[in-house]
Amino acid sequence: MTKKKKLVTVWGSLGIAAVLGFSALAYFAAKDNEPNLVGVGEDSITITESFTPPDQTQPYKKVVKITNTGSVPCYVRARIEFSDSEMLKKAEFSYADPDSAVAPAEITFHPADPDAEGSYVQHLPEKWIYNAADGYYYYTDIVGVSDATSTLLAWVKMNHETDEKAEAHDIYVYSESVQTIDPKTGEAYTGYLDAWTKFTAETT
């Protein structure tokens, strides 16, 4: 939480219209914390989730979207991190059938580890791309006021050797947004890449 506050303080001092959302999933603890939001200006987002407390041996529901709760359009990016890197290697993701109550048998899962062969980052839902250089998932389209991104994640499956070896861990979802208008020039960015490139340059 200290890191998050530091980031927002820096962005605010630069006058950059950006916000940071945070959500933590405590696996096996059967709880889903609401996002803690700190906004700058009128650019505001929230992580919209549908979470089903997991069975230790079955895929569990973790639907993640980013909703624009501010008053201006924005671009969005997100990170998905594990509290334990070894758990990352055992996890698999899917975005299929987010409205289903249970994971259908025909759902295809892909390794959550971006470095794994056939990784989830190579099979992302529409309008999402992954940047290995910074570890962010970028939504390539503008998110309008009160609109949401497409589903980034719907299901998580853990591949433990045995039930007895299943270990508790956390999955963290962070999201950031930047307005579609350059605050220095008052002109629209040419796209998500232009927006984030200039935003990163201002904050590094």
| pLDDT tens across the length of the chain (204 residues) | 333 322 332 222 223 334 455 444 433 222 233 333 323 345 577 877 666 555 656 788 889 999 999 899 999 999 999 888 888 999 999 999 998 888 888 899 999 999 999 999 999 999 999 999 999 999 999 999 999 999 999 999 988 665 555 566 778 888 999 999 988 888 999 999 999 999 888 877
Q: Which residues contact 154 (CB under 8 A, 6 or more apart)?
A: 61, 62, 63, 64, 94, 95, 96, 97, 98
Domain with 158, as residue range(s), is: 2-203
DSSP state of 122: G
If one counts the domains in the chain, the total is 1
Could you identify the residue written with the tokens 């570890």?
A: 135
Instruction: State pTM to two decimals.
Output: 0.77
Identity of residue 147:
D
Q: Which two tokens stand for residue 177?
A: 């947004």
The answer to whether residues 107 and 59 touch, using CB atoms and an 8 Å cutoff, is: yes
Question: Comparing C-alpha atoms, which of 74, 81, 62 is closest to residue 137?
Answer: 81
CA distances from 100 to 28, 57, 155 (A): 21, 18, 10
